[in-house]
Amino acid sequence: MAKNQGFLFLSRKTLSLDLKNAEQYLNRHHLELERKPYYGLRLWGDEFSIRLCLSAIFHEFSDQWFKEIYSGFKDPDLIRREILNSVRQCGFTIYEMDIPNMVLQIQIALYRQERGYVVKMEDMAHGDLLRESDIQAARLCAQGLKDALGVNIPVPEIKYMAIQLLGKKKVLAGDRSNVFIDMEINQLVNRMLESVHQAYSLELGSDFDLNTSLRQHMVSLRIRLQYRLKMDNPLLREIKEVYSFPYAVAAHASTVLSEYFHTIVPEEEIGYLALCFALSLKRQDRQRHKRNILLVCASGAGSAKLFEYRFREMYGDYLDRVETCEIGSLASRDFSDIDYVFSTVPIKARIPVPVCQVQYFFDRHNAGEVERILKHDCGSSIKSCFDPELFFTDIKGNSREEILHELCQRVKKVRSIPEDFEESVLKRENLMQTDLCRQIAIPHPYRPVTEETFVCVAVLEKPVFWHIYEVQIVFLLSVSVKRENLEEFYSIAPRFMMDERCMNRLIQTKSYDTLMEIIDWAEQDEASS
């Protein structure tokens, strides 16, 4: 491509490819390129969608051309001041991290309005969700902008601004007067929790704090989903890594929202929902993982009591009964009500429960291993989910649909799966982004459909565009209808799936043995953390 005297020379192939990429990007924002022979191309879509697309462009691209447009925007500091003044007067606020996005939305609105492009009332079909306080905050902000900039903002634009504010609205601590939880929100949250119960056998419906936090979160989330408003989440990667199981639970619950609002719930939103579920699951952990343990200490009754005290202090959330005994009396001990034995000395006698030898004064590794044992099943490994017969390096396809079709056909030859297995996988794809990060995707059926949990792995010859990332490793996960506890799987799997070095190694070797070595590393790393 050469540039000469203001002309840009490029091949027909390059232009065609660039147009295709541009069209795909616009389609993601509900916009189309309308083609008319001998006239050219025209962007087609409502003003609301155009503004959201512009906002996404400024977030995702840094080209000079976009920077030149930005230079024509109104002063961001002035707009920020007016936003904060107006919402505070109306008794609510917005998080600091949401303010730059809110400022950008208003800058774009003013930029488009100056050029004669205004939103229409019919573009805001869900405006009935706005309350008087939301409209009043937008009016105050519009009046402040008029006083400072001399810009007259019409009624539809004020309503547009109110929608943007409601999408970011956070009620001040201790003030619930501006929160209205209607029947629609109540029903959606109930359906989300029922969906989680069916898939993971988690009884979360009676958790009052979770119900309250989800319902309050849905007030603004509903607006963002209905109008496809962007919500930043700077903690997203950390949430996926640290709270991987709550993220999986939140992703499944979000399919209810995807079906209801006819849109894919962005991963940023799933991340915030995951934090709500993480707190609830932590509360459940304290009840679900209560263990009865026997401590064996060879240093006398006093030391045994101190040993017991240390266990209760460090692992009280996981313990029900803690008993102690001398090593000489083990042979006559009844183990019917004991889950684990922890001993400071080697135990040579055969006993019917798992034994873990620990140091009297725990080091970091020992302490982490004890917690892992108390929290999860001793000696379990997620490697049992990965069958060498379901590891493929010769899957071909140019789209996620082609890849998934070929994978489902291969699975059918090895495992007993229902006839609608592929249909269920594609249904989930249409409702949820399954590319967890760059390089990998974790598709799975809409709901549990197989007798056993298994993972079909495909290392592709070349990357394929999935939802938002280029993917070269596909982990097709099928969860058992027996409702097994998958917390261990989701605790370990993201540890290696989101590790770029591990995935690059698997891409280079294309080896099942390499995958097993990587899982070994992840399980050891989990145990020592």
Annotation: CATH topology of 290-375: Rossmann fold (3.40.50)
Please give the average per-residue pLDDT across 312-341, as a whole number: 84
pLDDT-derived band of residue 219, with 50, 70 and 90 as boundaries? confident
Numbers of helices and strands, H then E, in the chain: 19, 14
Phi, psi of 387 (to 5 degrees): -95, 130
Question: Looking at residue 459, what is its pLDDT?
Answer: 96
Query: pTM here?
Result: 0.72
Question: Looking at residue 528, what is its pLDDT?
Answer: 58
pLDDT, averaged across the chain: 85
Question: Which residues fall within 8 angstroms of residue 450, CB to CB, at 6 or more apart?
Answer: 415, 416, 417, 418, 421, 478, 479, 480, 481
Which of these ranges, 19-23, 67-71, 154-158, 215-219, has the smallest mean pLDDT?
A: 67-71
232 has a pLDDT exceeding 90: no
pLDDT-derived band of residue 174, with 50, 70 and 90 as boundaries? very low
Report the percent of the chain where pLDDT is more than 90: 33
Phi, psi of 294 (to 5 degrees): -120, 125
d(CA 408, CA 406): 6
Between residues 284 and 352, the one the model is more confident about: 352
342: which DSSP letter?
Answer: E
d(CA 201, CA 192): 13
> Which burial class, exposed, middle or buried, applies to 301 when counting CB atoms under 10 A from its CB (0-12, 13-18, 19+)?
exposed
Question: Looking at residue 389, what is its pLDDT?
Answer: 95
pLDDT tens track for 17-30? 888 888 888 888 88
For the CA atoms of the chain, what is the radius of gyration? Answer: 28
In the chain, where does the domain assigned CATH 3.40.50.2300 lie?
290-375
pLDDT tens track for 473-529? 999 999 888 766 677 788 788 888 888 899 999 999 999 999 999 998 888 776 655
Please give the average per-residue pLDDT across 71-78, as a whole number: 88
Please give the average per-residue pLDDT across 448-463, as a whole number: 92
Q: 304 is written with which tokens? A: 């045994």
pLDDT tens track for 258-296? 999 998 899 999 999 999 999 998 877 666 667 888 888
| Number of other CB atoms surrounding residue 112 within 10 Å | 17
Q: Write down the H helix ranges in 228-350.
A: 236-242, 244-261, 267-288, 301-315
Question: Looking at residue 529, what is its pLDDT?
Answer: 57
Q: What CA–CA distances, in Å, run from 525 to 142, 281, 481, 491, 519?
A: 54, 22, 29, 11, 10
Question: Looking at residue 362, what is its pLDDT?
Answer: 65
* Residue 517 CA to its chain's centroid (Å): 27
Which of the four CATH numbers 1.10.3720.10, 3.40.930.10, 3.30.379.10, 3.20.20.70 does domain 382-528 have? Answer: 3.40.930.10
Polymer length of the chain: 529
Question: Looking at residue 77, what is its pLDDT?
Answer: 92
Which of these ranges, 65-69, 380-384, 457-461, has the smallest mean pLDDT?
A: 65-69
d(CA 486, CA 453): 9
Question: Looking at residue 494, what is its pLDDT?
Answer: 83
Please give the average per-residue pLDDT across 310-332, as a whole number: 83
In the chain, where does the domain assigned CATH 1.10.1790.10 lie?
76-171, 183-287
Question: Looking at residue 477, what is its pLDDT?
Answer: 93
In words, the CATH class of domain 76-171 is mainly alpha
410 has a pLDDT exceeding 60: yes
Is CATH 1.10.260.40 the right assignment for the domain spanning 183-287? no
| Number of other CB atoms surrounding residue 303 within 10 Å | 14
pLDDT tens track for 104-116? 999 999 999 999 9
Between residues 284 and 167, the one the model is more confident about: 167
Q: What angle, rounded to 10 degrees, do the helices at 244-261 and 183-200 form?
A: 130
Q: What CA–CA distances, in Å, run from 451 to 196, 405, 480?
A: 18, 21, 5
Question: Looking at residue 275, what is its pLDDT?
Answer: 93
d(CA 370, CA 377): 11
Between residues 95 and 394, the one the model is more confident about: 394
179 has a pLDDT exceeding 90: no
pLDDT-derived band of residue 125, with 50, 70 and 90 as boundaries? low
